[in-house]
Structure 1
Amino acid sequence: MPNLYRQGVAESQTTIAMMYQWQQALSASGPWSDIPGAIKVNYTPLHAEGVTTYYRRLTTNCDSVLSTSSIATVAVNANTAPTINVGSVVNTCLGSTTRLGGSPTATGNGGATIASYQWTPAGVYTPNNASANPTVSPTTTTIYTVLVTDNNGCQSLGQQLVNVYKADAGPDASTCVGKIVRIGGAPIQGLSGLTYSWSASPADPSMSCTNCAQPDVHPTAATTYTLTMTIPVTGGGTCSTTDVVTVTPVAAPVTPNFAGPDKTFCISDLDAFLGTPKESGFTYVWAPGNYLQWNNVSSTRFQPGNLAMPNPNPIKYYLTAIKQGCSFVDSTYASVIEANAGVDGCGPRYVGTADRTPNINETYSWTKVSGPGNFTGATNLPMVPVSSSGGGSTTYRLTVSYNGTTCTDDVVVPPCGCVVDIAVEAPFVCPSFGLNGGANSVKLTATAGDIFSSDPSVFTYTWSPNVGLSAYSGREVYLTDNVERTYTVTMGSPFDPSFNCTRTIHVNNPAWSLPVFQAKDVTTCPGISVSIGQPTVAGYSYAWTDPQKYLNDTTLSNPTAIVRGSQYFPVLVVDVGSGCVARDTAHVIITGMPAGIAGSDIQMCGSGTVQLGQSPLPNVTYLWTPAASYQPNNTAANPTIPVAATTSFYLQATNSVTGCVVNDTVKVTVKVR
C-alpha cells in the first residue's frame, strides 16, 4: 500500500487482504454465476462450440465486494481448429539430427487447409521453423511446440519431446589412497537398450564394473576413465557419446615422520618445539592440545610450564595432516625431565628432590664442584646424602640425561651451626597438659632448624628426662602428666656421628592460664559503626581476621566495624607470657528493610480507594503522612485510603530492635475520566 502523508510525515496504511472470484454469464446483463476454482488474478476459459460467453472478475475482502472488472466477451464460431499429429517422443544423442513433426504434422477440419506452421523455442531449424517437418540438433532435452494455423484463422498447438542423452563420467575427483570413490552420473531410467562401457588409462583392475553407470574405483595413481554410452535412436539404429573423468589420489606428506622425532626437554625450556616444517597444500591438527601453544600448525611450541610435570609424562601427540579431504596421521612423544639439586642449606643432609618422572628412565649423576664437604653415600640417585661443610661452603652438581637431552642444577651446603626446633601442637598452643585437656592433647615435634631437609626424619632425636613423655626417641612425643619440667631434645645425624645439637622447652608452668575473651554478636543498621570486642587486658595480644578491611584496627581488643551486610570476624587472643591462646568470632548482623517499602506508584482513572505499602515486617513500626482517612489507621504497614486527586504519601518505617529508620514515598496519580 502507498504511504499517506500527514503534514509532511509519512504514515503506512493497513494492509487489506483481497481475494478474486471469476464469474460467467450467457448475457452481458447476467445472471452471473461463480466459476468453481477460478480465484486467481487471471483465468483461461474453455468454450462449447457456438456458445458466446461473458466473463467478469470480482475483488473481495470476504465481507464485501471491493470492485468489479469490466466484462470480457468470448465469441465462439462453428469452425474447428486443425488436428495436430507431431509424432512420438524422440530419443537421440548429443550432436545427432532429429526430424520434428508427423506425417503429416497437421490436417485441416471441415474443408479447411493448413496455412502456416511456427515451431518454438527459438533455435536453428532446417530449413526453418516455418516448415512442417524441420530438422534440429538440440544440445539438451527440449520440448518443441508447433503453432498450426488454417485458412480460417483457427489455431492448434502441439508439442514433441526430444530426449537428448550424453555420456556422464562425473566430475574430476581427488581421493585418499585406498579409499573408494564412485565415478559416473546417475543411471538413466526407462530407456531400453542403453549400454555403458568403461575403460581406464592406465588400466585399473580396482573398477567394480565396466558396464554399469557408476563403478567404484580406488586407483593408486592418477587415472583417466572413459565412458562410452550407447542408446537406441527413435526410428531405428543407435548413437554413442563419450565422456572422461580423472581421479587423482592425494599424496601423503613428503616427510615420512612429519610429526618429528620423539623429543625430551628440560623443565622450563623455552625453546621446545615439536613437528616439522609445513608442506604446501596441507592443514594440520595436533591432539591432544594440552601444553601446546598452537594446535593447528605443523611445528608447534611445547609449553609444559616450570612447576608441575606434564601429565602424562611422556605424552603422546598425534599430528593429522589434511589435504583435499584426506587425512594422514603421525605421532611423536614429548617428555620432560628435570635436574633439581634442591635448596641451599646446611648439612649433613640429603641434597636433591624426589623423582617426579617415574615413567622415564633417565640417569642421575652427582659431582662435587668445590668445597670441603663430601658425599656420604650413592651418587646416582635423585637424592643423595652429604656431610656438613665445616670451614667453607661446598657446591654439588646434579646432571640428569635422557634421549640425548641433559639438564644440570647446583646446590650449596654452607658451614652452619646446629639448631633443632621444637614445635608445640595443642588446642590452646601453650605446652600445658592441664590447660589443653589432658591425655594426647599436647604434642612436641622436633625439627632440624637451619639444616634443610625434605625429610626431617632422617635425623635421630632423643628426649630427656625420661619421665612424663609418651616416648623418649623420635621426632614426636606427647606430654603424659601435668608436672612442671624442662625437656631437652638432642638431634644426631646418621651421615656424621660427630654431629649433634640440642634444644630445651619448659612445660606445665602452674602460673599459666588461658586468655579470657568473648567477642560480641551485634545487630545494627547498614553503615553504622559498632564495637565488637572487649576492653584491653594487659599482657594480651589481639589479631582479628578482616580481609575486606571493615575494621578500624585488627590489633585492638575492641575494634569498630562498619558493614552493610552481615559479617563474621574471627579473633585470636594470645597470653604473651604463656603463649596460650583463645579463639572466638564476632557476628555483626545487619537488619535491613526491603526497597520500596511504601509500595509501587499507582495510577487510577477517577477517584477511588487504593492500598499502600507492603506486608508488615516483624519488629517494624510504621507512620504514614500526610494526615488522611487511613484504614485501619496511619500506623498500619499497608493501609487503604480514598484518593480523589493526585497525591504523594510518605512512610517512615522504624526497626524497634536496631533503631534503623527508612523513609519512602509512593505517588498515587488520579487521571480525570
Structure 2
Amino acid sequence: MKKLKLILLLSLFGVVAFAQAPHYCDSVQADFTSTAPECTGNSVTFVNSGYSHFNCTYEWDFGASSSPASHIGEFPPGVTYTLGGVKEVTITVTDVVTGCVSYKTHGIMIYENPTVSFNSTSLTPCEYETVDFTNTGSTGAGWTYTWDFGEGAIPSVSSAENPSGVYWTTSGSKTVTLNITNGNCTESTNLVINVNEAPVVDFTTNTPSCTGYDVDFTNLGSSAGHTFSWDFGTDATPLTSTSENPSGVVYSSSGSKHVSLTITNSITSCSTVYTDDILIRETPTVSISSSGDDCLGSSYDFTNTVSTGAGLSYSWDFGEGANPQISAAENPTGVEYTTSGVKNISLTISSVYCSNSTVDNVEVYATPVSDFSSTAPVCTGLNVDFVNTGSTGGHTYAWDFGADATPSTSTDENPVDIAYSAPCTKTVTLITTDILTGCTDQISQNITINTTPTVSFTYSGDDCVDAEIDFTNTGSTGGDWTYEWDFGEGATPGSSTAENPIGISYYTSGTKDVLLTISNGSCSNSSSQTITIYDTPESDFANTSPQCINLGVDFTNTCTSTDVTFAWDFGADATPATSTDENPMGVIYTTAGNKVVELVTTNTITGCSDMSTTTINIQETPVASFTHTDSLCLSATYSFTNTGSTGTNLYYTWDFGEDAIPPTANAENTTGVYYTTSGWKYVSFTIGNSNCSNTIIDSVYVYDTPDADFASTAPECSGLPVNFTNTGDDVNVTYEWDFGANASPATSTDEDPQNVVYDMHGTKEVQLVITHGITSCTDTVTHTITINETPTASFSSTAPVCGDEGVDFSNTGSSGSNWTYSWDFGENSQPSSSSAENPTTVTYTQGGSKSITLNITNGVCSNSHTESIEVFEFPEINAGNDTTICADASLLLGSPEEVGFTYLWFPSSTLDFDTVAQPLASPEAQISNYILVVTDAAGCMSQDTIIVTMLPSAIANAGPDYDICSGDSIQIGTGLLEGQMYFWSPVEGVGDTLAPNPYVTPAQTTVYTLNTYYPGCDTLTDQVFVNVHQMPDVHATSFVDQDTIEIAEGEQIELIVTGAIQYEWSPAESLSN
C-alpha cells in the first residue's frame, strides 16, 4: 500500500501562499547599472554592479515590452523596448551554496521613439504649384514637427503636423525633410520632390492699334518644346490661336481687349497663364472733293466731305509736283503744280491714335515751255540771231527784243539778224501759247551788247641787254578792261597783265616784237611794235692770290670782248689803288685780310658795260714764340703754350727734344709731355700758314725723382691695428701717407706709421708720396691691402616670455654663408647652446634673468655680444576643487584675489561676474565646466578648470498602495536613482530601510513613509499604504479525521476543508476537482 502525503495550498484574494519563503543573507548583494534613459527600439546595456561570487546565479527581469524579457546569467545582451515609460528592472542573485538570495530593482526611463513617414499630394509638381504634406508617422500630443522643404520653397520651413500650400520658386530636385521629436527621442526622414520648371510667359504686341488694323502678337516667354493657346478677346478675328507668334488679328470694335496666353510644357504639362489688356481705338472715315482740272500754274482747292470736328487731324498729299506738296488744313486751298498730268490726291484723317486714308485725282494740263537761246553776247556792230528752244508744234510765238533793236518785235519761231545800235544789257521776252488748251508760258532773258576797245602803247626806248625798259598803254583804259602784254624773245618777265608794266629786261640782244591785247571779257583788240636790244661786254679776271703782306699780286683780264675799256679798283691798302691796264702786275698790300677787287669793262660804241668783283686773301707772316712750365722732375708732365700768332688758318709744329714722350705734336698748345731721362732738353716751335711760316727754339731742365715703396702687416681684421714700413728712399725726403677709406688716422707724415685702424672691411688703396727736399720731385706708390670683416655681433629675441614658452633668437648682426655662430643660452636652458644662425624654441625650466652670448666668426675674424633676457614664471592659480552641489544651488568659485592678476571666467552666462577672482556660479546644467584664465602683470597666462556637478532634484516615489495577506512580504518603492539616498519609516518589518524598493512584511496594515534626498540637499517624502489581511483558519481532513490517511491502491476517499472561501488543491493528479 502506498502512502500519499497531501499538502494544501490555499489562495485568498488571489494571493498565492507558498510553503517556503526565500532566504536572505549577506553573502550576496544585488545591484546593477544601465545605459538608460534610452529611446524605444534602441539597445539598453545592463551591468551587474553588486556583490557576488562565482557560486552565484543571476536572473534578470527587464520589465514590460522588453526584448528579451528576461535573462539567466550575469551578462545580459542588449535589451530593447517597444513601448515607452518607466520600466522596473530586477536582478536576482542567488548563492547556490548558502541559498542566500538578493534582489535589486531599478526604475529606468524608456522614452517613446517616433516613427517618421509622410506623403505628398505630388512628387513632380511644377514651379509655383502648391503641394500638401501629410504626416503618416507618430501623431498626437507630445510630438513636435519640423519640416524643411528645401531650396526655393515658400515657406521654406514649417512646424505644422500636416503643412499645406507649399510651392517652389525654382525647379530641380528638392529634398523635403521631416523631423519628429518628443524632446528626448528624435527621428527624421527625407522625400525627394522633383519640381518641374514652369514655362515663362510674356508677350508683346504692336498695340495700341485701331479698328480694322492688323495686330501682331510676339511670344517673349518659353518657346521650343511648348504649346501655345491664345484668346484675343471680344470682336477679334480670329478669336483664338495656337501659333507661337500670331499676326494679322483684326478688331472690329474699339475699347480694351482682354488677351491671354497659356504656355504648356509638352513633356511635363506644366503651364503658365499670362493676361494683358490691349487698347483698340476707333478709325475715322475719309472722302474728298476738288475745284476741278486746270492748267499748270493754276491753283486748286480741296474739301474734306466726311469725318470732321475737334480731335481730328488732316494730312493731305497733293501728288507729284504740288506746291505745297502736303497740308494739314481740313480744306486746303491755293495748291499749284510744277508738272502736268493726272495727280493722285490722298487725304489721311487721324484721331490721336488712329487714321484712315482715301485717294482721288485731278488733271493738270501741261503749260507750254517758253525758252530760247541767242548768239549774244556780241560786240557793237554785230547782229544777234534767236532760236526757240521751248515747245514746238501747235503753238504761237510773240517776241519783244528790247531797246535799240531793229526790228523791235517778231512772231517768227526763230527770228534772225536783229541789230542793236548801242551797247548795254537788253531784255528779250518770248510768250508761247498752246493752241488747244490755251495754256501759256512766258520767259524773259537779258542779253549783253559789248563795246569794242582801242589799242596803242609807248615804251622808254631801245637799251642794252639786262637794262630795264618801261611800257605805257595809250589806248582804252578803265576798270572794265584787262591787259595782256607779250614782250618777245629773251624778256624777263616774258608777259604781264599790268596796264603799264615797267622794269622789263632782256638777256639776249636783237629786235623784239612787243604785243598788247586789251579786252573786257567779251570784246578785245591788239597792237604790236618792234624794239632793239644791244649786246653787253663780259667782265672777268684771274689773280695770283693768296699772298703774304708786301709780296706782289698779278691780275689778268680773262674776257675776249673788243672795242672795250678797263677800270680796276684793287681794294684797301693796295699800291697802286686803281688801274686802266688790261692786265695790271705787282700790286702790293700792306695789311692782311680779304681784299675786294673790282673790274668794269665798257663797250666804246654802244656804251654798254659789265662789272665783275673777286675777293682775294692777303695773309700775315706769323710770329713764333711760346712759354712752358718750369724745370720739373723726371716723369712729370710739361705744358707748352703758344704766345705768338694764332688763328684757324695757321699750322703748328713742335719738336720736344731728346727722350720726350711724345717726341712731336701739331696742336697749338700741348700738355702732358714728359721725359724718360734727366738733363737739358731743346724744344723747337714752328708757326705757318699755306704761304708763310716762323720758327723758335727754347730749352727746359729735367730733374731726377726719388723712389717710393712700402710694406705693411696687412691683411688684418677691421678694428685691429695695421703697421706700415717705408722701403723706398729715406735721405732728404718727406713722407705723405693716405691710408684709404675708413682708416683712423686717415693720413700720416711719419716714415713708418703704426697702429692704423680700419672700421670697415674691404680692399683699401694705401698711397705713399715721397718728396725730395731740394728738388721737390716726388714719387708715388699705391698698394692694395685687404681688411677682413670683423663681424657685427648683435641679436634680438621674442623675450620676455612666460614659463616654458619657447624663446626665438634672431641674429641681427653679420649674416651670410661665410659666418658661423655659437650661442650660449644661459642657465636652465634647453638646449643650452646652438650653432644655428637664428635658433628657435629655446625653453627655460626656471624663470629669472638669463645671460645670452652670441659669438660670430668666419675663421679669421670674430666678435661676441652678450645681453640678458627675462623669463617670467606662470602665475599660480586655483579655480577650486571639483565639487557637487544640490539642484538650483549656487557656489563661490576660485580663490582670493592676487594683486596684479586679471581674471577671466567662461562660460560667463551663469556667473554674477566673469572678471573677478571669486565669482558666484549658479549653474543650470547637470555638469558645468568653468574655465579660469589669469593674466599677471607680465602678460603671462595660466588656466585652471573646476567641474561643478549639480545633483538632480530628489524624487520621492513610494509606489502604489498594496493589499497583502498577513505574514506575506511585498516590495514597495521604485527603482534606484543613482546618488539619491533613501530612508523608510517605520523601520518595523522593512527588509532594508535604506533601499529604494525594500521588501516589507508588516504585521498589520501600515503606512510607510519614504524620505529621499541627495547628500547635503533637501529631503522629499512620499507614502505607501499596505493593507494587511489576516490569513484564514483552514482545516483540511477526511471523514476519518486524520492528517495522514492510508488507503488501498485504486481506493477513493473524500477530502474535506473548512475555514476559507476559495480553495486550490495540488497536485491536481487523481483529484476529481
The two structures have a TM-score, normalised by structure 1, of 0.30
Higher strand share: 2
TM-score by length of 2: 0.21
